[in-house]
Amino acid sequence: MRFILCFLIGCMPLCSVAQNDISISFHHQIHHQKLILNERSRISPQSDSVIITTLKYYISSIQLLWQGKTVFRESNSHHLLNIEESKSCTFPLHTPKNIHFDQMEFCVGIDSISNVSGALGGDLDPTLGMYWTWQSGYINFKLEGIHPKCPSRKNEFQFHIGGYQMPYYPLQEIKLSIPNKKQIDIYLQLEKLMANLDFKTQKSIMIPGKEAMDFSKRFTQMFSTAQ
């Protein structure tokens, strides 16, 4: 008995050293200013002001790399980020201690296997408003707002980007150089996503297809580690 106890106590520091949390925070900005929902912002000095009402998206398959090689792969790596709930934009990565990394890789969206795996829980629970109901599949990225040029009711625009079947599989992989620190800050610059969007013609994407695919290519440009 005493032996078992000693053994367990002996193991405890091992367990606690074995793991080390890194915190990842996603910050959402327009021209390096914090994005505030339901308030006016300008995408470019010449453009009309835009109001963002919803920004929700999935970050998945997070990996850390050192000199081009994967040194850490998060398990069950699916995070729903909703800027309405700031807590959802910061989360820990349970990594081994003393891990060295200089790059981070992640996807925007949900992979095709998870899309065909039935009902899932946690951030993938279909009650979270990121699952289509009229046909199966996750919405990877949801951006909604108001732009005066939108020829729609109340000038609203909605971009619900998703799909899991080739050739329209808009899962986008992002690779960023990051400092080897315990706190990783990633900035999403929304003006890069919305640059050159013609709101007169593009006001809504609600189904998987070529348009969603083209829109998703913008994701690769919008993340950076520079504030």
Partner 1 sequence: MRKGIIYIALFSFFALVSFTSTEPLFHVPSGWPKPSYDFSKNTLSQDKINIGRALFYSPILSKDNTISCASCHLSFTGFAHTDHDLSHGIDGKIGKRNAPALMNLAWGKTFMWDGRINHLDMQALAPISDSNEMNENIAHVVEKLNQSNLFKNLFYSAYRDSLITGERTLKCITQFMLTLVSANSKYDQVMRHEDTFSSQEKNGYLLFQKNCASCHTEPLFTNNQFANNGLQQDTVLLDNGRYAITHIASDSLTFKVPTLRNIEFTYPYMHDGRFKKLSQVLNHYTSIPQHASTLDSQLQKPIQLSANDKVDVISFLLTLTDKEFLYHPKFQYPKKLFSQSPNGL
Task: List interacting residues with partner 1 (CB under 8 A).
Answer: 115-121, 124-129, 131, 133-137, 209
26 and 90 Cβ atoms separated by less than 8 Å: yes
Closest distance of CB 219 from partner 1, Å: 23
For 83-203, where are the E strands, in sequence order? 90-96, 103-108, 139-146, 156-162, 172-177, 183-189
Q: In the complex with partner 1, which residue's Cβ is closer, 176 or 207? A: 207
Q: In the complex with partner 1, which residue's Cβ is closer, 99 or 120? A: 120
Closest distance of CB 150 from partner 1, Å: 24
108 and 162 Cβ atoms separated by less than 8 Å: no
Closest distance of CB 112 from partner 1, Å: 10
Of 172, 186, 227, 140, which Cα lies nearest the Cα of 24? 186
Q: In the complex with partner 1, which residue's Cβ is closer, 83 or 124? A: 124
Beta bridge partners of 66: 69
CA distance 219 to 87: 22
Closest distance of CB 208 from partner 1, Å: 10
Q: In the complex with partner 1, which residue's Cβ is closer, 63 or 140? A: 140
Q: Which two tokens stand for residue 90?
A: 């910061």
149 and 199 Cβ atoms separated by less than 8 Å: yes
Q: In the complex with partner 1, which residue's Cβ is closer, 80 or 222? A: 80
Closest distance of CB 121 from partner 1, Å: 4
Closest distance of CB 138 from partner 1, Å: 10
- CA-CA-CA-CA torsion for 138, 143, 144, 150, nearest 10 degrees? -120
Q: In the complex with partner 1, which residue's Cβ is closer, 105 or 211? A: 211
In terms of Cβ atoms closer than 10 Å to its own Cβ (0-12, 13-18, 19+), residue 174 is: middle
DSSP reduced 3-state for 45: coil
